[in-house]
Amino acid sequence: MPQLTYLEAIRQGIWEEMERDPTVFCLGEDIGIYGGAFKVTDGFIDRFGPERVIDTPIAESAIVGAAFGASLTGMRPVVEFQFMDFIGCAFNQIVNMVAKAHYRWGAPAPLVIRGPSGGNVHGGPFHSQNPEMWFVHAPGLKVVCPASAYDAKGLIKAAIRDNNPVIFFEHKYLYRRTKEEVPAEDYIVPLGKARIAREGRDLSIITYAAMVHTALEAAETLSREGIDLEIVDLRTLAPLDREAIVATLRKTGKVIILHEHARTGGLAGEIAAIINEDAFNHLDGPIVRIAAQDSPVPFSPPQEEYFLPQVSDVLREARRLRAY
């Protein structure tokens, strides 16, 4: 099987869906001639033409409005934002129009809004945010955060085929840093299903996106100390795979919830509530959460390192929880 980077896997997934389905088209800022801010759509305009690879003004609300209208006519638009931080400019369109279309009149709205998110690249407070929870809170949207190249390709293809609106967060730190074998044949990864990134028996880490790799690195160190971590990669945040959360708790009895989003109002709180409701009797220790600071993302590299969860944080909390 060929090896692909996370970025190339997403690019290939969109390309294949455009080849497969003529109703799929892309629109966004500098995606055509320039090929996108991170080059995800490089070469698309040469293959599919300007009617299906549409350069837009820098106006996120207008982009989503146009895509929403197209989706209501049977098209499958794929919107790219240069940085997902600026998705806030389209918040009204997404939350009050797109997310409510099916509820209001039963209309499918098959569009994908995708782009780079996340920190650890020294992009500062306007280019390093993790806005996923803004949309997990909005009923009617699916929210996806892949951690691997295999999943990134399979999930983007599933998102494009889905008849619901999907917000697809691509962690920019992973774009060219992760690489793995990806099948050449057509496949999808179902939305709403977590995966076990690492089997373990002593305690569980529930996480997603770049923090999966932080957890995996910590697990290698801890395995040499006789501590066996199980790592659950959620992949999709809405809908959330409650069954996978409960299953890992039944197995290990102890859990760390790890995410790059801010601690307050982050997904860890919701997962803790699910555990309390559905798996309380299986707990053998306190629920631990590791998250980013409640602060804008610092530009300074040392400050950003302090702001973000690190492998050392996972090691400290895992050792403490294992000994509880």
pLDDT > 70 fraction of the chain, expressed in percent and rounded: 100
Q: Are the CB atoms for 148 and 178 separated by under 8 Å?
A: yes
Q: Report DSSP state, residue 174.
A: G
CA distance 284 to 281: 8
Under the phi-then-psi rule, with left for phi > 0, alpha for psi from -120 to 50, and beta for the rest, what region is 124? left
Cis omega before residue 239 (within 30°)? yes
Positive or negative: CA dihedral 108, 45, 63, 139: positive
Quote the CA–CA distance of 25 and 7 in Å, as a whole number: 19
Q: Which tens digits make up the pLDDT trace of 58-110?
A: 999 999 999 999 999 999 999 999 999 999 999 999 999 999 999 999 999 99
> Residue 2 — very low, low, confident or very high, per pLDDT cuts 50/70/90?
confident
- State the catalytic residue, choosing from 127, 171, 213, 261: 127
User: So what's the pLDDT on residue 204?
Assistant: 98
Average pLDDT value for the chain: 96
Q: What pairing do the DSSP bridges indicate for beta strands 142-144 and 236-238? A: antiparallel
Q: Give the confidence band of 303 by pLDDT, cuts at 50, 70, 90.
A: very high
pLDDT of residue 118: 95
If one counts every other C-beta atom within 10 angstroms of the C-beta of residue 280, the result is: 10
Contact between 231 and 208 under an 8 Å Cβ cutoff? The reply is no
CA distances (Å), origin 87, targets 28, 81, 229 = 12, 7, 35
Say how far apart CA 54 and CA 224 lie, in whole Å: 52
Q: Which of 236, 181, 168 is nearest to 206 (CA)?
A: 236
Note the pLDDT of residue 194.
Answer: 98
Q: What is the pLDDT of residue 141?
A: 98
Contact 30, 36 (CB under 8 A): yes
Strands (E), 234-286: 236-238, 255-262
Residue in the block written with tokens 């992760």: 178
Residue whose token pair is 């790890």: 258
**Structural domains of the chain ordered from first start:** 3-181 (3.40.50.970), 195-322 (3.40.50.920)
Residue 127 known to be catalytic = yes
Q: Is the pLDDT of residue 220 over 90?
A: yes
Q: Which of 192, 268, 201 is nearest to 231 (CA)?
A: 201
| pLDDT of the residue at 14 | 98
150 closest CA partner among 29, 270, 4, 279: 4
The answer to whether the beta carbons of residues 192 and 236 sit under 8 Å apart is yes
Q: Is 186 exposed, middle or buried (0-12, 13-18, 19+ CB in 10 A)?
A: exposed
Residue 114 reports pLDDT greater than 80: yes
Cα separation, 2 vs 15, in Å, equals 16
pLDDT on residue 1: 75
3-state SS assignment for residue 24: strand
pLDDT at 244: 98
Note the pLDDT tens digit of each residue in 263-291. 999 999 999 999 999 999 999 999 999 99
pLDDT in tens, 241-260: 999 999 999 999 999 999 99
